[in-house]
Amino acid sequence: MRRELDHRELEELAGLVERQFGFSLDKKMKYFAKGEKEGKKIFLFTGNWKPETENRIPIEWAGLHFGTIIGDTFQPSLDGAFLMQKAGKNILQANRQEVEELMKGNEIENSGRHAGVVILRHKDLVCVGVAKEGEIASLTSKSRLI
Amino acid sequence: MIYNREFEFYHQKLLGREFEEFVDSLRFKPKSAIRVNTLKAGVERVEKVLYENRIEYARIPWCPEGLWVDLEPSSLVEHQLGFYYIQDAVSMAVSLALDPKPGEEVLDLCAAPGSKTTHLAALMQNEGCLLANEQDYRRIRALVYNIQRCGVSNAVITRQDGVKFDQFGVKFDKILLDVPCSDVGRAMSSRDVIRDWSKGKVIRLSALQKRLAVAAYNCLKEEGVLVYSTCTTSIEENEQVVEHILDSCKNARLERIKLSGLQSKKGLTDKTFDCLRILPHYNNTGGYFIAKIRKCAPFKNK
């Protein structure tokens, strides 16, 4: 069931994204949550939302999947990461080959001491991975693999 | 090419002298094209990607975001990141004909797989509200995938029967109705199209298209605009549907579509002269039919 985040939930989400990625959420936008087994999916909606429309027409999907909250971790989607251009924490500069490897679902070497969910960037290309000891595993969803 | 006598007879009568050229064009696949998704990248950025990957490209005259390509770049990271959409060049004209603006409320009544939906969202700059409806649950998956990949954040998806969509009482500034059709304009990509073509099928589809068109028209606000399109050739699925709207819907007026650089012919009847009829050999694309109808404000006596 999809529902709009209330003020408290939005503050919690904003705090989480700020702590993890140093990114300030635009709180003027609408954010929706959809609970799933593997976490709470967060959707971003930038349009003019008219709740009366939803009262009249059942809605299957709204907005852009921005990321998923799993426990106390925010895991941005590929497109959520793309929107977080001004993020300043847990951002790793990569080369094109490394981005391609993660987009293929492969692991790459973790040359630093990074841990947890990271956004990898090469110019305007982005991908998302999870850094562990010695490696960064791909978080690219199956449907988006190249 | 598969021989279908009924298809040949019908199109000979419909197209006259153009028939041979038309049939010949169905032997070849249309020129490949991509549309740059301006929500994520600029045209120059994508041109650079194509250049670096040794893919030849050229700009499509009627669509500022459209590029002809000699090879479909489906395996690049930039494709999965939604920098561009692989799309038939002629279908880009449909969203441009509707010309949605940021902030407007727009309905795409038969939306999957999402090539035009994502184009509309880009033209709206992710502002306003784009309602994408698709009745077929399996096709919604493709629609969601493309909306997500292209970074569309102003869209909602509904799964309703388009014919009954006017019962909800929600009104829109602009509506795109790209209906299910006999697909002759895509015959070069699928042999089944000509094999399965029959006049009976066209008549059945025409009846459905008329019902969809009236439902769509009923969802327009005053001064709202409906773009009706098909990727097929028959007069029953094109001009006759437009005439049905003009005859049965109050204050409906056909408008001229201005798209420079796109070769097209006029509608085949007097009432539908302002429609665009595009056969595959005109632009080396698929075939299309596009009509733009405005719901005029009713005349008020002072």
Name which of A47, A60, A99 is nearest B158 (Cβ-Cβ). Answer: A60
Are the Cβ atoms of A64 and B148 closer than 8 angstroms? yes
| Catalytic residue IDs of B | 231
Q: What is the C-alpha R_g of chain A? A: 16
Q: How confident is the model at residue A54 (pLDDT cuts 50, 70, 90)?
A: confident
Nearest of A93, A58, A71, A74 to residue A23 by alpha carbon: A74
Number of domains in chain A: 2
Are the Cβ atoms of B157 and A96 closer than 8 angstroms? no
Give mean pLDDT, residues B177-192. 93
Residue B1 reports pLDDT greater than 80: no
Name which of A49, A60, A79 is nearest B148 (Cβ-Cβ). Answer: A79
A63 domain residue, yes or no: yes
Instruction: Please tell me the distance from the alpha carbon of residue B128 to that of residue A16, in angstroms, as a whole number.
Output: 28
Are the Cβ atoms of B81 and A78 closer than 8 angstroms? yes
Domain ranges, residue A23: 2-75
Name which of A53, A144, A146 is nearest B75 (Cβ-Cβ). Answer: A146
B149-to-A66, B152, B217 alpha-carbon distances in Å:
12, 8, 30
A85 domain residue, yes or no: no
A47 domain residue, yes or no: yes
By a Cβ cutoff of 8 Å, what residues of chain A touch chain B?
Answer: 44-50, 53, 56-65, 77-79, 82-83, 96, 99-100, 103, 124-126, 143-146
User: Do A10 and A70 lie in a common domain?
Assistant: yes
Q: How confident is the model at residue B67 (pLDDT cuts 50, 70, 90)?
A: very high
Beta strands in B76-128 (DSSP E): 84-86, 105-108
B113 prior amide bond cis, ω within 30: yes
Residue B84 reports pLDDT greater than 60: yes
User: Do A109 and A52 lie in a common domain?
Assistant: no
Tokens of residue B148, six digits:
């997500």
Dihedral, CA of residue A100, residue A105, residue A107 and residue A108, to nearest 10: 10
Which sign, positive or negative, has the C-alpha torsion B130, B133, B137, B140? negative
Sorted by sequence, the CB contacts under 8 Å of residue A128 that are 6+ apart come out as A75, A76, A77, A78, A81, A102, A117, A118, A119, A120, A139, A140
A80 domain residue, yes or no: no
Min CA distance, A55 vs chain B (Å)?
10
- In this prediction, residue B189 carries a pLDDT of 84
H helical segments located in B124-234: 137-149, 192-195, 199-218
Give mean pLDDT, residues A55-81. 94
A50 domain residue, yes or no: yes
Residue entry with tokens 């003020």: A7
- In this prediction, residue B302 carries a pLDDT of 47
For A79-120, the pLDDT digits (tens) are 999 999 999 999 999 999 999 999 999 999 988 878 999 999
**CA angle (A119 as vertex; A118, A120 as ends), nearest 5:** 115
H helical segments located in A22-83: 51-56, 78-83
Q: Residue A140 sits in a domain of what CATH number?
A: 2.30.130.10
Min CA distance, A85 vs chain B (Å)?
12
A140 domain residue, yes or no: yes
User: Do A6 and A70 lie in a common domain?
Assistant: yes
Task: List, as own/partner pairs, every contact residues A23-27 make where C-beta atoms lie below 8 angstroms and the sequence separation is at least 24, other chains included.
Answer: A23/A84, A23/A86, A23/A87, A23/A88, A23/A89, A24/A86
Are the Cβ atoms of B77 and A99 closer than 8 angstroms? yes
pTM for the whole structure: 0.96
| Mean pLDDT (chain B, rounded) | 96
User: Do A66 and A10 lie in a common domain?
Assistant: yes
Q: How confident is the model at residue B299 (pLDDT cuts 50, 70, 90)?
A: confident
Residue B184 near residue B197, CB atoms below 8 Å: yes
Are the Cβ atoms of A47 and B81 closer than 8 angstroms? no
State the DSSP H helix or E strand holding residue B14, giving kind and residue range, or none if neither.
Answer: helix B5-15
A116 domain residue, yes or no: yes
A81 domain residue, yes or no: no
Enter the ipTM: 0.94
Name every chain A residue with its beta carbon within 8 A of the beta carbon of B82: 79
For B256-285, the pLDDT digits (tens) are 999 999 999 999 999 999 999 999 999 999
Tokens of residue B134, six digits:
């698709």
Are the Cβ atoms of A103 and B80 closer than 8 angstroms? yes
Interface check B113 vs A, CB under 8 A: no
Instruction: Please tell me the distance from the alpha carbon of residue A41 to that of residue B297, in angstroms, as a whole number.
Output: 43
Instruction: Please tell me the distance from the alpha carbon of residue B231 to that of residue B90, in angstroms, as a whole number.
Output: 9
User: Do A11 and A64 lie in a common domain?
Assistant: yes
